[in-house]
A and B are shown apart, each in its own frame.
Chain A
């Protein structure tokens, strides 16, 4: 029932509270999760900008996706609604689709160049 009710967007917090009645999350607790999530995002971003191996670069973008996932779950608990958690399920799906595509591209390029160094792929300039 809760899932159905959440489709239009905002789930009634009272319904959820009745069902399981967890204690609301304190702002300070939320801050811990936000710190982890921001750290993951920053590590991903720095890694993307500094590393030159295509697979590592892709893993860094995955890290950034998961950082958003952690933030969404923490917010979901903070606001006592399920929307954030629903969002995460979709993010996982999209991340899987992107991973499939990234690996396909990496295989394609490796066959041609025998290398995964991003700097080698710079035929076009200007």
Chain B
């Protein structure tokens, strides 16, 4: 029992914080209500510290207590999630209750605990992050299913209420939510059916047992069908091609503070579960000289699964980047860029763990990229949520059009520079974090022999340069519009802070990029000594 609990301390901290927030957020006193965001922040910090100190990794993980396929995954992912979640939390104050609080402050309206939704908003944030951490620690298909649903269900509501009180933004947010929810339910049904088939083929829902069954008994047709369906369903979470249609509409309709959340949390959940599924079916591990290397260069995924990933990756990158070119809305550009980034990360998944060294390890590359993408992406969405203009009905609403960010470096340097830095980093401009994140994707795919995919990846990076440089040029080179005074900085300082912090991280983390890649390499490493209960035969490499 205790060895199971050792994986759950961060989630327990988040759960407690979520419950406290639900009570604090409906307090009749303004000061106490405002404290809800602080409690949520404390919960995330506590979860991060607990993840760092208590999560077992490497050889401490046994087959009875956790998944032994990627035993370092939970520690790395949970700490990374806590850091990005803290940045995301900074965007959240004022998203749902701004008009209401203003009316209460003016005395026009009385506080009504039944009608306010600040408490739900922050506790759903925490529940969703908790679901994401549970995905990272999953060792069972039932657990994985519940964790994925716990990640997604709160986000549907967060999107629906993120429009606030303004008529126009609220209508768009609700429309976005309905699209997101219905496609999400479809995706969940598809991967659930895939999980059912995997159970049918192997007789177990435990990932260690599934791995054992698939590697010793071979991958049956039923298991393969199950895997393919699971992957297709999870494509919804990562916004990859057959299930990507919702992305631009949802990111545009939801407030940018929630859109930034959607671009990191469900996407990370999807990628972590894809990594778990792929490691359950292939990627043969064997202990090497330094205890961390694996045998068998390149991929050992079953061929149909590899082809499926290949097609999804190539289409996702290309569609995301090409459609981003013709957008006028910054939110839609970022949505398509988020689709394209999923395609990039799938390349690492196809490359597989290689021989375990960082440049050849696609799994480590994906894990590193997820963290870097989280940091850079928060920056861009923080800038969007940190600026606002009046809508037709007189409410203040976050900006959307690319016209609105013209000359931002001159008019609002504290938001303009983060936008410039983060869009260059998303492009993968050399000294910045995005470059160091993209590099191992290329090297791992080359060492796995996926030359055509590398060419597609390179071409796509070039296409992406057009729209990222357009964003960069708009804020840095262009002159502000004549009516630039209409765009004002948001009164919520924490959003500006988030933008500046993530831009600073994009620059500063480059210094410690060696340590970060080392951490992600350890997260992708197998156990040094195969445990007796999960002895993994090296028979998958022909």
Interface residue from B140, B153, B192, B197 paired with A9 (Cβ < 8 Å): B140
C-beta contact mask, A61-72 vs B, less than 8 Å → 1, else 0?
100110110011
**Chain A contacts for B174, CB-based, 8 A:** 105, 108-109, 112
**Chain A contacts for B252, CB-based, 8 A:** 124
C-beta contact mask, B187-223 vs A, less than 8 Å → 1, else 0?
0111011011101100111101100000000000000
| Interface contact A90-B145, CB-CB below 8 Å | yes
Q: Which of B179, B196, B326 has the most CB of A within 10 A?
A: B196
**Chain B contacts for A58, CB-based, 8 A:** 182, 185
In Å, the complex CA distance between A13 and B326 comes to: 59
In Å, the complex CA distance between A112 and B64 comes to: 52
**Chain A contacts for B327, CB-based, 8 A:** 126
Interface residue from B160, B186, B188, B249 paired with A48 (Cβ < 8 Å): B186
Interface of chain A, main secondary structure: helix
| Interface contact A126-B248, CB-CB below 8 Å | yes
Interface residues on B, range: 35 or more
Interface residue from B149, B186, B193, B329 paired with A71 (Cβ < 8 Å): B193
| Interface contact A10-B203, CB-CB below 8 Å | yes
Interface residue from B177, B196, B248 paired with A105 (Cβ < 8 Å): B177
Interface positions of A from 46 to 68, Cβ below 8 Å from B: 48, 54, 57-58, 61, 64-65, 67-68
Given known contacts A10-B209, A61-B186, A64-B189, is B145 in contact with A71 (CB within 8 Å)?
A: no
B332 sits at the interface (CB 8 A): yes
Interface residue from B140, B171, B196, B208 paired with A68 (Cβ < 8 Å): B196
Q: How far is the CB of B24 from chain A (nearest CB, A)?
A: 24
In Å, the complex CA distance between A39 and B517 comes to: 47
In Å, the complex CA distance between A44 and B192 comes to: 14
B175 sits at the interface (CB 8 A): yes
**Chain A contacts for B171, CB-based, 8 A:** 112, 123
**Chain B contacts for A87, CB-based, 8 A:** 141-142, 145, 195-196, 199, 205
| Interface contact A10-B204, CB-CB below 8 Å | yes
How many A residues, CB 8 Å from partner?
A: 45
Q: How far is the CB of A57 from chain B (nearest CB, A)?
A: 6
| Interface contact B181-A101, CB-CB below 8 Å | yes
**Chain B contacts for A98, CB-based, 8 A:** 149, 153, 185, 188
Q: How far is the CB of B518 from chain A (nearest CB, A)?
A: 32
B402 sits at the interface (CB 8 A): no
Interface residue from A67, A94, A112, A122 paired with B193 (Cβ < 8 Å): A67
C-beta contact mask, A103-126 vs B, less than 8 Å → 1, else 0?
001001100100000100111111
Q: How far is the CB of B123 from chain A (nearest CB, A)?
A: 15
B156 sits at the interface (CB 8 A): yes
In Å, the complex CA distance between A10 and B193 comes to: 20
Q: How far is the CB of A6 from chain B (nearest CB, A)?
A: 10
A32 sits at the interface (CB 8 A): no
| Interface contact A81-B193, CB-CB below 8 Å | no
B509 sits at the interface (CB 8 A): no
Interface residue from B149, B177, B182, B189 paired with A44 (Cβ < 8 Å): B189
Interface of chain B, main secondary structure: helix
**Chain B contacts for A8, CB-based, 8 A:** 64, 206
In Å, the complex CA distance between A90 and B252 comes to: 33
Interface residue from A74, A90, A124 paired with B175 (Cβ < 8 Å): A124
| Interface contact A83-B145, CB-CB below 8 Å | no
| Interface contact B182-A124, CB-CB below 8 Å | no
| Interface contact B189-A72, CB-CB below 8 Å | no
| Interface contact A90-B157, CB-CB below 8 Å | no
In Å, the complex CA distance between A48 and B156 comes to: 19
Interface residue from A9, A83, A105 paired with B181 (Cβ < 8 Å): A105
| Chain B residue nearest to A94 in the complex (CB) | B149
| Interface contact A124-B253, CB-CB below 8 Å | yes
Given known contacts A9-B204, A48-B186, A124-B253, is B178 in contact with A68 (CB within 8 Å)?
A: no
Q: How far is the CB of A79 from chain B (nearest CB, A)?
A: 4
**Chain A contacts for B199, CB-based, 8 A:** 72, 75, 83-84, 87
Interface positions of B from 346 to 373, Cβ below 8 Å from A: none
A43 sits at the interface (CB 8 A): no
B536 sits at the interface (CB 8 A): no
Q: How far is the CB of A105 from chain B (nearest CB, A)?
A: 6
In Å, the complex CA distance between A10 and B64 comes to: 11
**Chain A contacts for B329, CB-based, 8 A:** 126
In Å, the complex CA distance between A68 and B229 comes to: 12
B375 sits at the interface (CB 8 A): no
| Interface contact A41-B182, CB-CB below 8 Å | no
In Å, the complex CA distance between A114 and B195 comes to: 38
Q: How far is the CB of B116 from chain A (nearest CB, A)?
A: 16
B172 sits at the interface (CB 8 A): yes
**Chain B contacts for A68, CB-based, 8 A:** 189, 192-193, 195-196
| Interface contact B153-A101, CB-CB below 8 Å | yes
C-beta contact mask, A25-42 vs B, less than 8 Å → 1, else 0?
000000000000100010
Q: How far is the CB of B176 from chain A (nearest CB, A)?
A: 7
| Interface contact A123-B196, CB-CB below 8 Å | no
C-beta contact mask, B305-343 vs A, less than 8 Å → 1, else 0?
000000000000000000000110100100000000000
Given contacts A87-B195, A126-B248, 16 further A-B contacts (CB under 8 A): A10-B204, A41-B189, A54-B182, A74-B200, A78-B200, A83-B205, A87-B145, A87-B199, A90-B145, A91-B145, A94-B188, A98-B188, A105-B178, A109-B178, A122-B175, A126-B327
Q: Which residues of B contact A (CB under 8 A)?
A: 64, 140-142, 145-146, 149, 153, 156-157, 160, 171-172, 174-179, 181-182, 185-186, 188-190, 192-193, 195-197, 199-200, 203-206, 208-209, 248-249, 252-253, 326-327, 329, 332
Q: What are 12 A-B pairs with beta-carbon distances under 8 A?
A: A8-B206, A10-B209, A64-B190, A64-B193, A71-B193, A75-B199, A81-B203, A83-B205, A87-B142, A87-B205, A91-B145, A125-B249
Q: Which residues of A contact B (CB under 8 A)?
A: 8-10, 37, 41, 44-45, 48, 54, 57-58, 61, 64-65, 67-68, 71-72, 74-75, 78-79, 81, 83-84, 86-87, 90-91, 94, 97-98, 101-102, 105, 108-109, 112, 118, 121-126
6 nearest A-B pairs in the assembled complex, by CB-CB distance = A9-B206, A64-B189, A75-B200, A79-B203, A61-B185, A71-B196
